[in-house]
């Protein structure tokens, strides 16, 4: 399949790219290379050379449409996180762009067969916050039906990586950890 990964230069996105390439898929990445995730806004060395890289912002409709052309599926992993209080930017990047993908798919009759969106990292967090409470407060933060299976195996891999790292999942961007399982 031809698969677009938005935010594919980030932590989850780049590992997803590796996994998809290993399974023989063609991968395109749309990423705006935001700092501080990407110092100097350079394409990261760890991004596989077989990836078709497009530098661009998911908030820009024309750019997003170009990236979605001729793709069978999209993993929507572009995310602006942890840099509050830029609340409106957070909503534009993380929420409105998801809606924009569906709008474009319908309006342009794109041949997309599947859209996979990221769950919040909150359900996998340990500590005092209960997953049940968060899921109730933000119903959209749980895994979607289409991504539930993938999330479950990703959770297992993450749990294993976290155990070896001896810490809870951290923002990926600091260093790209290599999963151990």
Ligand X SMILES: NC(=O)c1ccc[n+]([C@@H]2O[C@H](COP(=O)([O-])OP(=O)(O)OC[C@H]3O[C@@H](n4cnc5c(N)ncnc54)[C@H](O)[C@@H]3O)[C@@H](O)[C@H]2O)c1
Tell me: cis bond preceding 54? Omega within 30 of 0 counts: no
Residues 38-57 that bind ligand X (CB under 6 A): 38, 57
Give, rounded to a whole angstrom, the gap between the first and last alpha carbons of the chain.
25
Binding mask 61-80 for ligand X (x = CB under 6 A): ----------------xxxx
What backbone torsions phi and psi does residue 180 show, to the nearest 5 degrees?
-95, -10
32 binds ligand X (CB under 6 A): yes
| CB of residue 118 to ligand X, shortest distance in Å | 4
16 binds ligand X (CB under 6 A): no
142 binds ligand X (CB under 6 A): no
Question: What number of other Cβ atoms are within 10 A of residue 100's Cβ?
Answer: 19
Instruction: Compute the Cα dihedral for 43, 5, 142, 155 and give only its sign.
Output: negative
* Structural contact between residues 30 and 67, judged by C-beta atoms closer than 8 angstroms: yes
CA distance 104 to 102: 5
| CB of residue 167 to ligand X, shortest distance in Å | 11
179 binds ligand X (CB under 6 A): no
Binding mask 87-126 for ligand X (x = CB under 6 A): ------x------------------------xxxx--x--
Binding site for ligand X (CB under 6 A): 6-7, 9-13, 30-34, 37-38, 57-59, 77-81, 93, 118-121, 124, 169, 172-173
């Amino acid at each position: 399949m031809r698969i677009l990964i938005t935010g594919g230069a980030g932590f989850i996105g780049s590992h997803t790219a590796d996994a998809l390439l290993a399974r023989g898929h063609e991968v395109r990445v749309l990423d705006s290379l935001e700092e501080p995730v990407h110092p100097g806004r350079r394409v990261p060395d760890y991004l596989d050379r077989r990836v078709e890289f497009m530098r661009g912002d998911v908030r820009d409709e024309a750019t997003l449409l170009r990236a979605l052309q001729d793709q069978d599926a999209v993993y929507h992993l572009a995310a602006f996180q942890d840099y509050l209080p830029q609340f409106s930017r957070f909503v534009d990047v993380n929420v409105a762009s998801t809606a924009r993908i569906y709008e474009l798919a319908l309006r342009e009759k794109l041949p997309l067969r599947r859209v996979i969106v990221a769950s919040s990292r909150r359900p996998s967090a340990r500590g005092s916050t209960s997953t049940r409470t968060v899921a109730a407060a933000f119903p959209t933060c749980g895994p979607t039906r289409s991504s539930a299976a993938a999330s479950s195996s990703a959770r297992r891999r993450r749990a294993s990586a976290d155990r070896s790292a001896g810490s809870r999942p951290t923002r990926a961007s600091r260093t790209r950890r290599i999963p151990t399982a």
